[in-house]
A = this chain, B = another copy of it.
Amino acid sequence: MRTDKRQSDELRPVTIQLNVNKYAEGSVLIEMGETKVLCTATVEEKVPQFMKGQGKGWINAEYSMLPRATQTRNQRESARGKLTGRTMEIQRLIGRALRSVVDLQALGERTITLDCDVIQADGGTRTTSITGAFVALSLAVHKLAQQHTFAKYPITDYLASVSVGVIKEEALLDLNYEEDSQAKVDMNVVMTGAGKFVEIQGTGEEAPFSREELDMLLMLGETGIRELIGKQRVVLGEAGSRIGVQLA
């Protein structure tokens, strides 16, 4: 029995609130149980130095936790003077995942930056960030499409992410913090609406894992992601209607 009485293949309650910020081109407050992440999308009509002159756009992500998002207060990275390895790893992951469903050529020479700020953390902050950031990105691109005719719609598919893990020989979907700290194997899965993998990151630091365990975890992850993408479709509604659709 899980501490919050969920089934092994059951997500925590998910809510995705749109347009929570008055300035951002897209914004979302996503909650998965007690994990709350504010995701904003900022559109800028320029690209980073290394992308200039290619006629292509760029998607960038930044991730941060508020100091008291966790049980004990964490020192701010701005006060430390540098990002931790964990933060860098997470924001690289979020950016890479989102780029996998964006046609940078179709986007044109502009950058969309996704800021994922964890207001409260209870496990799964990086996967929740990806799921929320995708919605914020979709809102921003939808808004762009209202001002600008894209020959091809730049978002090619839906995208969501979830964590899975093994605790006491059982594979569980969507670990909360308490579960995460007991897990022997911990895996983050990112998938598209078409059911393809974008990222798989599985770690057995506490105990190596077998092929059978891996297969169970991938299956659970797929289940959870399908459900999350369903929720994304509902909240996006019209704003998501052109995702993955090409003009004839």
Contacts and interface: CB of A to CB of B under 8 A. Distances in A.
B73 A76 contact: no
Nearest to A84: B88
Contact of A64 (B78, B85, B209): B78
B202 A211 contact: no
A38 interface: yes
Interface stretch (A1-9, A112-120, A144-152): A112-120
Looking at chain A's contact residues, the main secondary structure is: mixed
A19 interface: no
Nearest to A207: B100
Nearest to A209: B197
Interface stretch (A10-18, A21-29, A48-56): A21-29
A38 B119 contact: yes
User: What 3 pairs across the A-B complex have the smallest Cβ distances?
Assistant: A196-B208, A85-B88, A77-B78
Given A78-B77, A208-B192, A40 B68 contact: yes
A248 interface: no
A161 interface: no
Contacts of A38: 66, 119
Given A73-B113, A201-B201, A211-B218, A23 B81 contact: no
A203 interface: yes
